[in-house]
Amino acid sequence: MQTLVLGGGCFWCTESVFRSVKGVTNVTSGYMGGDEASANYEDVCSGETGHIEVVRVDFDDSVIPLEAVLDIFFATHDPTTRDRQGNDVGSQYRSVVFYTDEDKQKPTIDRVIGKLSDMGLQIVTEVHPVHEFYAAEEYHQDFFNKNPTQGYCAAVIPPKLGKLRKEFKQYLQ
């Protein structure tokens, strides 16, 4: 088992993607990376806390390898825009990977980012060791499945899931 914490814009989007991936045993929306000793949605949305909307992804690496998790992450958000994903603007939406094992995970993360850079992409994704994780409020957990017709969800998440189904069908549940 491995754990990564990923920030790729709104956590509803990233969570929705990884809830569809086989081998992923748990996905929790939350906040990480700031200097404040706690985090909540209202404060994080202000952009003043330094925290990022993230998802903690626990996965069985005998079912889905780390590199595949990273490939899915980079394909389902834009790792070339700083502090922005679509209409979500601010440092709380930046692209970031927090690793839990420097020896096992960081070399793979660096290799995947290098591969994307070699393709001509200007990757701005930050890479850091894991910080204190603050789970988001309960109403944010599994938000898309609970609210599929909510305006943001209906407009932004289905294209990401479509890309997942098209490019990574071998990893779908």
By annotation, the residues acting in catalysis are 10
DSSP string, 61-115: TTTS-HHHHHHHHHHTS-TTSTTEETTEESGGG-EEEEES-TTTTHHHHHHHHHH
Query: What is the edge-to-edge ordering of all strands in the sheet holding 2-8?
Result: 126-129, 95-99, 2-8, 52-59, 24-32, 134-135
Distance CA 2, CA 104 (A): 10
The structure tokens listed for 132 are 């204190």
How do beta strands 95-99 and 126-129 pair? Answer: parallel
How many Cα neighbours within 13 Å face the side chain of 103? Answer: 0
